[in-house]
Structure 1
Amino acid sequence: MAVDQLDTRILRLLLEQPRTSVREYARILGVARGTLQARLDRLERDGVITGVAPSLSPAALGHPVLAFVHIEVTQGHLGDVADALAGVPEIIEAHSITGGGDLLARVAARDAGHLEDVVQQLNRVPGVVRTRTEVALRERVPHRLLPLVEAIGRAAAQDRR
Structure 2
Amino acid sequence: MKIDTTDAKIVRLFTEHPRMSVLEASRQLGVARATVQARLDKLIDGGAISSLSPRLDPTKFGYSVSAFVSVRVEQGAGHANLGEFLAGIPEVTEVHTVSGDFDVFCRVVATSNADLQRVLDRIAAHPTPVRTSSSLVLTTHFENRALPAFEAAAEHPA
TM-score (normalizing by structure 2): 0.93
Report if aligned partners of 2:5, 2:151 keep a CA contact under 8 Å in 1: no
Supply the distance in 2 between the matched residues of 1:18 and 1:152 (Cα, whole angstroms): 21
Are 1:112 and 2:91 an aligned pair? no
Supply the distance in 1 between the matched residues of 2:151 and 2:35 (Cα, whole angstroms): 21
Greater mean deviation of Cα atoms: 72-81 or 82-91: 72-81
- Corresponding residue of 2:53: 53
User: Residue 51 of structure 1 aligns to which amino acid in structure 2?
Assistant: S
User: Residue 152 of structure 1 aligns to which amino acid in structure 2?
Assistant: A
Three-state SS of the structure 2 residue aligned to 1:63 is coil
Are 1:41 and 2:41 an aligned pair? yes
Supply the distance in 2 between the matched residues of 1:76 and 1:142 (Cα, whole angstroms): 31
Matches within 5 A, 1:7-156: 7-74=7-74, 75-156=76-157
Q: Deviations over 1:68-102 (max 9, x none)?
A: 00011122331111110000000011111111211
Percent identity at matched positions? 38
Report if aligned partners of 1:12, 1:149 keep a CA contact under 8 Å in 2: no
User: Residue 131 of structure 1 aligns to which amino acid in structure 2?
Assistant: T
Change in CA separation of 1:93 and 1:142 when aligned onto 2, cut-off 3 Å: closer
> How much has 1:48 moved relative to structure 2?
0.7
> How much has 1:153 moved relative to structure 2?
2.6
Give unmatched runs, 5+ long, in structure 1: none
Supply the distance in 2 between the matched residues of 1:64 and 1:18 (Cα, whole angstroms): 25
Supply the distance in 2 between the matched residues of 1:96 and 1:40 (Cα, whole angstroms): 30
Three-state SS of the structure 1 residue aligned to 2:148 is helix
- How large is the Cα RMSD of the aligned pairs? 1.4
User: Residue 132 of structure 1 aligns to which amino acid in structure 2?
Assistant: S
Greater mean deviation of Cα atoms: 121-130 or 86-95: 121-130
